[in-house]
A and B are shown apart, each in its own frame.
Chain A
Amino acid sequence: MIELIGSLFILAGAVFLFSAGLGLLRMPDAYTRIQAGTKATTLGNMLVLAGLAFYHPGWIFKLILVIYFVLMTNPVSSHALSRAAYRIRTPMTSATMADALAEDDAGGDGAPPEGSARGGPPGERTGR
């Protein structure tokens, strides 16, 4: 019975990993691909490792270590990557509705709000 629960966890995690790969293939934009490729793999990896913890109770310390590590590092790398993608002006898809970071930069620096889609030149604010 406990093996069945563990295998169900592993299957759910594999479904999330599969959806991450599918979203990576089908999303229209670099930013949405970052979303699909990072969040879904974090949850999928956690579910797979939790399912393995049902099978092998002796491995549970190291599995929790791996889960903690992925849970801490994967959002950090996705955040840094999306910020770098914004800074080097990776093109967005045409369906993008709002650009909150450009508005934030324009408002925060006291610059007059212009009609342009992006804020000022990114080279000036690399010190943050």
Chain B
Amino acid sequence: MAEILIQIAAVLIFFAILFAIIRLVLGKTLVDRIVAVDTLTVISLSLIALYAHVSGRFVYIDVALVYGLLSFLAVLALARFLERGL
């Protein structure tokens, strides 16, 4: 039962990544693309944590932590660049 629920969750995350990729491809403005990348980062962070559970390795959570930190810094630098030119 629990494994089936986790597989349904993986399928939902799959479709979330797919929709965000579609928005990245056909987004009209730059802000649309940046927010698509931000959303994709957090979704992939959840995916990495879920994969850490599936494979049973504790080390993968560290990757999720580094992943979130770096993407946050990138989005903040981009927003600051857009607002006042770095």
Residues on A lying within 8 angstroms of B by beta carbon are 3-4, 6-8, 10-11, 13-15, 17-18, 20-22, 24-25, 30, 33-34, 37-38, 41-42, 44-45, 48-49, 52, 55-56, 58-59, 62-63, 65-66, 69-70, 73-74, 76-78, 80-81, 83-85, 87-88, 90-91, 126
Check B1–A77 contact: CB distance below 8 A: no
**Chain A neighbourhood of B20, CB < 8 A:** 20-21, 24-25, 37
Partner of A17 from B16, B68, B69, B84 at Cβ < 8 Å: B16
For the complex, would chain B's binding face be called helix, strand, loop or mixed by DSSP majority?
helix
**Chain A interface mostly:** helix
Q: Tell me whether B80 and A80 are in contact (CB under 8 A).
A: yes
Contact with A along B47-65 (1 / 0, CB 8 A): 0011011000010011011
Which of chain A's residues have a CB closer than 8 A to the CB of B18?
Answer: 21
Question: Are B9 and A45 in contact, CB atoms less than 8 angstroms apart?
Answer: no
Chain A residues whose CB sits within 8 angstroms of the CB of B3 once the complex forms: 7
Interface positions of B (Cβ within 8 A of A): 1-3, 5-6, 8-10, 12-13, 15-20, 22-23, 29, 31-32, 34-36, 38-39, 42-43, 45-46, 49-50, 52-53, 58, 61-62, 64-65, 68-69, 72, 75-76, 78-80, 82-84
Quick check: A66 and B68 within 8 Å, CB to CB? yes
> Considering the complex of A and B, which 3 residue pairs feature the smallest CB-CB distances, nearest first?
A21-B16, A14-B9, A21-B19
Task: Name the B residues within 8 Å of A77 (CB-CB).
Answer: 38, 72, 75-76, 79
Chain B residue nearest in CB terms to A3: B2
B72 touches A66 (CB 8 A): no
Q: Which residues of A contact B79 (CB under 8 A)?
A: 77, 80-81, 83-84
B6: chain A residues at CB < 8 Å are 7, 10-11
